[in-house]
Structure 1
């Protein structure tokens, strides 16, 4: 909502027709500008070393001429009549008559003049050019460019030298000409004059107007632009959106190219119901560090009683010392802060790091050397509360110091790990009145200093058909509380040993299903873990949480993440997996897995509010994935309770992707007693409905002009019988321009949602006007493909003359 993420559209506005004309006239292959779907302009590391320009070798190239009749005087002049041609390097001049004065190095071409310069073609009635100096003019030229098949015409092109040129009364479009004397392109750019300076990689246009369907829609009295991949400061195309809360949103970005390794984008946004939001982004890329700073400031938000709203985020990464003898060190910063609790709800489309309710602020210093690593960290949280759904803020870590040493095959195949950590846990009390959040959970735990040490040793035994991995762990921790517990304790110590044994077999056999040959496997696995009971329930919990129950965690020693709870276990996990593998490529065509835990005694160590785990048999996990055919894929996981004979949690997903621009995906997710949702996403040509299958032009090329595409994603809650999030859109490909309209609904709270309507026109090879509809589609629709995304640059030999 706030800032235009895709600066490629900005660059295209500046680059075309400029970069295309300049590339064709001056440096044909190096300055074609950015493609429609490229990311933001790349920063170049500092210091930037500019290479010396090699001396012009044009005069050393041989010159070839041919024609029906050739006459002249040696080393003085040459005259060619009929099918005349002059070739030097990558430049070919053809005409009915061509005169070449060698002392002046002057070529004069008359009648049906055609220049092919590295695949870019120019045609006109008269050319006069000093070939070596590249000075002269071309009257009434018509031009077509290799990169995107764009073309135009002008009254005159004046070549000042091989680096500079001026084009008079120029036009530019990518709409292909059709039969008919009155045909006009759907869109066309006209400019009174275009001045190009390849040495500075800049250009300027005066009196430019963009017309669409015969209607002038974007007058630009003066315009400056880059000619190559060198970025250029200047105004960017405006973006327009319609939001159900903020009203009409108009963003007028300005791009500031500070240096090759630094740039900034200012994006003031007018929101008719709120006011003016001042947004900015600054990027830097130095030799030893890089980062991004983003910020927004909205003074006097009219929808929030004149409250000033702001958001800030910063990311910084910096290697500090990179010497083999002393190891490597680095610094990382991740800062996120907003003005108030409602920021995530009101500005859900701003920087993604600011749209969460838990905003992390991290600073870490790291050092590593030959398996040893040390780190220091400070982490603080900003918690954005919601009166309908309050949450407990996590504990800050100020500081956290960690040391770790890991070695594989240290001695006779033994792997070892030693880890030590000291953390000072503090709690940031939300600065909100208690009457605003009466249901907010209270925090009764004291702040504390916690130190833990983890020592682990294992000895893997394995071969191609089996593996056995015994492992022993010792986890000890010490607490010093800043205030006494309910038991009166101000310190506490816990030491917990753990032993585990992981083992498995792998059987293989050739098999045949559905007329295809496969290699089928059967992989039974057994995992035993024993951890004796050590009383920990009386202790506070600062960072532990229950691990998700899935195939990744069912074969682990501890049911909890973090270090405040080490579960007492005496259990055996049994499972098996069977796969169908392609015997030629090894690709997995299908997989079926099952696993269950057998508990031999109750688990007494629990999280606060959790009951003792007494079931002897855990829920069953079933998992399967199938991709027999390239266009179809499906996967699912079911957590089944054999006692109640009910599914506790289920996830099933299916995807059909028969070709480019054709994808439908559906997912069903259910968690008993909490949620049940259906998620559907798609991109599909609507022309298929009336039998028009289009052309397979490949990815990034669309399927031909005159095509309609439907795009969307719907997340529907079956339990609440309401749409949670939804995106519906239409795209139209006219060949030389694309049109998009997208309706978006995003849930912004328990009872609130934001709605937007996005319009966008993309003029192929020129620019995009409107809102950021393309970015919304790419972020939300699985496997969405751009209708225009050139991945390769055409070779000049594809249009060799």
Structure 2
């Protein structure tokens, strides 16, 4: 009995001491029902299964870390009441509030005057009801993805239903910039995840001279893992309603495609003189349905076959000028549509190709396309250079077939006049005017009879076969000599009543020699030091055609086969229509290397630097000078031009300086055609660029009209910083006094991107005017919902505007 009394007394004293220590704040730590608890003071009522905590409370339960000033936990109902500076954190989310009632077993509850943050996404409100592990219903709510305070942008609403990793559904949504309300919507759905997903994108606002004010609303459709689309409705104040679709797909890691389509009943174009001048009186003023289609496709197929497709079509020839960023070919002479299948092996090439062109040089926007010449089909086989057995002889083989076709007649009826001593040849028309297409009252004339000495053949077939044999010879360590001989045979078939078949054959001999002088600069002791290799490579090539057999036909030209100088090899221009050597299908129909010496000097600088443990090589400098001497011109009667243009190609790619330039100096015309670009840049993406394009019309044997030239200077610059990106360009016409518009600035564009604090939005302004086209202003808001700031536009973005 005495022992039992002592046991009861000792137990009472221990309980009293423990209770006193809890009350005195000894920061006890306990584990109760899988909860790890720490607080300044803790009281547990074992009968009611209630634990009361106060001061620096920290509770860890099933991956959740809970902080508060005061907590009352009911172990029986698995609920906890949290008061004062409440913070509940897990691996993905953070909940804060003044007061929280939490069912920690079911992970539901109520948050008062609090917020929920998941990554950069945060929504807050007076009352937040946690209905599931990641689901909330918020009253008097605010939503934002900005990290700054106050947020650069936010949406407020009477009620927000949110699912983290899904969407937030906001009623009576008000868009705010800072604290300023700017836009109200009755209902809004915004993403709360970074995965690609269907939903409305931010609207875009535009203003243009001919279209007026326009607003567009795009919708992104995540169709599948490999396909998606952007559907857009665009409303122009002057033009009307327009629908746009961009469809994208991936076939494998390297294959895919994009299709763009748009259509509009254009009310503004219906009143445009560019159209009405060519329409009958009964149709003038009627709205015109306008559309465009652009498609790009690339597909790596089995067995090394590659399928490529490109479509570019429009309802009228003025569409690319009115909507240049849609067709992306404003200023081109034709729209190219092309499809091909190619197969390459280690030593052979096979291809089936077809090209359909839309002639854009007509004055009438609705002109037909009967005069455009297409290449349908074009077949090619090439055997690359390969040794013959174990010998040092190398052979190659090229075989091509092209069918040149068009919807109109097989040839063009031509008229020839002499104006100011210059011979001019142009298509026969009712106005007898070389500029007949600018006059709506002029029409082409077809007399139904082919004149071999005057008319131009435009359709036919060409079969070309050329085998070649080489024998490389190496003298010592520095001189390489390659003699070669080839045979070429070309057959033509024309779709006219007479002279339907032509043939040309020749043997071509060639010997080329080159050497390489080089030196290494830099630290040659340290194996990982940056070094530079400078190479000087002189080359000389002599080509001669000892035998040529060619049918006598105006298709090859009306003069001797030596009349066309080597200078005319590069391209076929309008000046060739009146020349003695005619306009063939393309430059493959001409022979320029009958007795030709070509001299070239190449300078190359190659850098070797180390990236970690891996060496990296890059060519930082390249300069090539080349010129040819045409010996056949010495036997020509009249004007002789044996020397070709002197060509200089410069390519420099340094970290801070880049340039790519091509210069062609014509010694007999004493002019230089130039295409040059110089760019200065830094690591921040800031750059300054100057580009020169100067082209004279070169006709062998004739002086150059220097006033009839294109000479444009393009100035571009870009500036990037923490909160703003700026870039712009303008094209200055150095020959503006001779242009029809007399505009010194042909086109211009600038892009301004504003990035408010918080890394959550970007405001983009684009203002541009294309050459001879409309002035356009575009405003776009890009909100960041996934926490990844939008990157700045690259300098190449300017290429889409102001061209």
Q: Do the aligned partners of residues 227 and 680 (structure 1) sit closer, same or farther apart at CA in structure 2, a change above 3 Å counting?
A: same
1:779 match: 797
- Contact 1:301–1:308 at 8 Å: present in 2 too? no
- Contact 1:279–1:296 at 8 Å: present in 2 too? yes
TM-superposed CA distance for 1:81, in Å, is: 3.6
TM-superposed CA distance for 1:117, in Å, is: 3.5
TM-superposed CA distance for 1:426, in Å, is: 0.7
For residues 88 and 406 of structure 1, the distance between their equivalents in structure 2, rounded to whole angstroms, comes to 71
1:275 match: 240
- 363-372 vs 263-272, which deviates more? 363-372
- Contact 1:602–1:615 at 8 Å: present in 2 too? yes
For residues 541 and 658 of structure 2, the distance between their equivalents in structure 1, rounded to whole angstroms, comes to 34
- 190-199 vs 675-684, which deviates more? 190-199
- Contact 2:191–2:785 at 8 Å: present in 1 too? no
1:246-292 CA distance string (max 9 Å, x none): 22222233334444444333323222222222222333445798543
1:153 match: 124
Matches within 5 A, 1:541-580: 546-547=569-570, 563-579=588-604
Q: Do the aligned partners of residues 99 and 595 (structure 1) sit closer, same or farther apart at CA in structure 2, a change above 3 Å counting?
A: farther
Q: Secondary structure at the match of 2:320?
A: helix
1:393-417 CA distance string (max 9 Å, x none): 6521222333334365564466543
1:467-490 CA distance string (max 9 Å, x none): 5444443332222222156xx353
Q: Do the aligned partners of residues 275 and 414 (structure 1) sit closer, same or farther apart at CA in structure 2, a change above 3 Å counting?
A: farther
- Contact 1:760–1:773 at 8 Å: present in 2 too? no
1:728 match: 750
2:712 match: 677
For residues 753 and 521 of structure 2, the distance between their equivalents in structure 1, rounded to whole angstroms, comes to 47
Q: Pick the aligned partner of 1:453 from 465, 470, 490.
A: 465
For residues 570 and 642 of structure 1, the distance between their equivalents in structure 2, rounded to whole angstroms, comes to 20
TM-superposed CA distance for 1:713, in Å, is: 0.3
Q: Pick the aligned partner of 2:665 from 640, 649, 670.
A: 640
Q: Pick the aligned partner of 2:538 from 525, 541, 545.
A: 525
For residues 76 and 220 of structure 2, the distance between their equivalents in structure 1, rounded to whole angstroms, comes to 48
Q: Pick the aligned partner of 2:777 from 746, 754, 757.
A: 757
Matches within 5 A, 1:198-213: 201-212=166-177
Higher relative contact order (CA 8 A, sep 6+): 1
Q: Do the aligned partners of residues 531 and 162 (structure 1) sit closer, same or farther apart at CA in structure 2, a change above 3 Å counting?
A: farther
2:379 match: 401
* 2:220 is the alignment partner of 1:220: no
For residues 774 and 583 of structure 1, the distance between their equivalents in structure 2, rounded to whole angstroms, comes to 31
1:683-714 CA distance string (max 9 Å, x none): 237xxxxxxxxxxxxxxxx42x5xx6543101
Q: Pick the aligned partner of 2:258 from 263, 285, 292.
A: 292
Q: Do the aligned partners of residues 449 and 589 (structure 1) sit closer, same or farther apart at CA in structure 2, a change above 3 Å counting?
A: closer
Q: Pick the aligned partner of 2:691 from 644, 667, 680.
A: 667
For residues 373 and 334 of structure 1, the distance between their equivalents in structure 2, rounded to whole angstroms, comes to 21
Q: Pick the aligned partner of 2:156 from 169, 190, 214.
A: 190
Q: Pick the aligned partner of 1:444 from 426, 450, 456.
A: 456
For residues 453 and 73 of structure 1, the distance between their equivalents in structure 2, rounded to whole angstroms, comes to 101
- Contact 2:209–2:774 at 8 Å: present in 1 too? yes
1:134-156 CA distance string (max 9 Å, x none): 32233222345544xx6552223
Q: Do the aligned partners of residues 509 and 379 (structure 1) sit closer, same or farther apart at CA in structure 2, a change above 3 Å counting?
A: closer
For residues 587 and 777 of structure 1, the distance between their equivalents in structure 2, rounded to whole angstroms, comes to 22
Q: Do the aligned partners of residues 422 and 132 (structure 1) sit closer, same or farther apart at CA in structure 2, a change above 3 Å counting?
A: farther
* 2:115 is the alignment partner of 1:142: yes
Matches within 5 A, 1:62-81: 64-69=36-41, 80-81=53-54
Q: Give the greater-gyration-radius structure (CA).
A: 2
Kindly report the root-mean-square deviation, in angstroms, between the aligned alpha carbons of the 2 structures. 4.7
Q: Do the aligned partners of residues 757 and 188 (structure 1) sit closer, same or farther apart at CA in structure 2, a change above 3 Å counting?
A: same
Matches within 5 A, 1:367-516: 367=343, 371-387=347-363, 395-406=373-384, 408=386, 411-412=389-390, 416-429=395-408, 438-439=436-437, 444-458=456-470, 467-484=480-497, 488-510=499-521
Q: Do the aligned partners of residues 651 and 409 (structure 1) sit closer, same or farther apart at CA in structure 2, a change above 3 Å counting?
A: same
For residues 633 and 451 of structure 1, the distance between their equivalents in structure 2, rounded to whole angstroms, comes to 43
Q: Do the aligned partners of residues 446 and 726 (structure 1) sit closer, same or farther apart at CA in structure 2, a change above 3 Å counting?
A: closer
For residues 716 and 116 of structure 2, the distance between their equivalents in structure 1, rounded to whole angstroms, comes to 43
1:576-635 CA distance string (max 9 Å, x none): 334555565555565554333344433999xxxxx999534333334556677x434455
Matches within 5 A, 1:622-633: 622-624=648-650, 630-633=655-658
Report the TM-score, using the length of structure 1 for normalisation.
0.70
- Contact 1:682–1:712 at 8 Å: present in 2 too? yes
Q: Secondary structure at the match of 1:780?
A: helix
Q: Do the aligned partners of residues 172 and 481 (structure 1) sit closer, same or farther apart at CA in structure 2, a change above 3 Å counting?
A: same
* 2:688 is the alignment partner of 1:712: no
- 458-467 vs 235-244, which deviates more? 458-467
TM-superposed CA distance for 1:242, in Å, is: 0.9
Q: Secondary structure at the match of 1:140?
A: strand
Q: Secondary structure at the match of 1:253?
A: strand
- Contact 2:320–2:328 at 8 Å: present in 1 too? no
TM-superposed CA distance for 1:521, in Å, is: 2.1
Q: Secondary structure at the match of 1:602?
A: helix
For residues 662 and 355 of structure 2, the distance between their equivalents in structure 1, rounded to whole angstroms, comes to 35
* 2:204 is the alignment partner of 1:252: no
Report the TM-score, using the length of structure 2 for normalisation.
0.70
- Contact 2:207–2:214 at 8 Å: present in 1 too? yes
1:33 match: none
Q: Do the aligned partners of residues 175 and 458 (structure 1) sit closer, same or farther apart at CA in structure 2, a change above 3 Å counting?
A: same
How many pairs are equivalent?
662
- 351-360 vs 202-211, which deviates more? 351-360
TM-superposed CA distance for 1:459, in Å, is: 5.2
* 2:763 is the alignment partner of 1:746: no
For residues 776 and 402 of structure 2, the distance between their equivalents in structure 1, rounded to whole angstroms, comes to 45
For residues 754 and 335 of structure 1, the distance between their equivalents in structure 2, rounded to whole angstroms, comes to 25
Q: Secondary structure at the match of 1:568?
A: coil
For residues 759 and 595 of structure 1, the distance between their equivalents in structure 2, rounded to whole angstroms, comes to 49
Matches within 5 A, 1:286-365: 290-299=256-265, 301-304=267-270, 305-306=285-286, 307-318=288-299, 322=302, 327-352=303-328, 356-365=332-341
For residues 184 and 87 of structure 2, the distance between their equivalents in structure 1, rounded to whole angstroms, comes to 32
TM-superposed CA distance for 1:541, in Å, is: 8.0
Q: Secondary structure at the match of 1:483?
A: coil
Q: Do the aligned partners of residues 505 and 270 (structure 1) sit closer, same or farther apart at CA in structure 2, a change above 3 Å counting?
A: same
TM-superposed CA distance for 1:234, in Å, is: 4.1
- Contact 1:173–1:185 at 8 Å: present in 2 too? yes
1:374-404 CA distance string (max 9 Å, x none): 4333332221234399999652122233333
Unaligned runs of 5+ in 1: 1-60, 179-183, 550-559, 606-610, 686-701, 784-801
1:22 match: none
1:32-68 CA distance string (max 9 Å, x none): xxxxxxxxxxxxxxxxxxxxxxxxxxxxx98654344
* 2:82 is the alignment partner of 1:109: yes
TM-superposed CA distance for 1:445, in Å, is: 0.6
TM-superposed CA distance for 1:91, in Å, is: 4.2
1:617 match: 643
For residues 680 and 622 of structure 2, the distance between their equivalents in structure 1, rounded to whole angstroms, comes to 18
TM-superposed CA distance for 1:77, in Å, is: 7.1
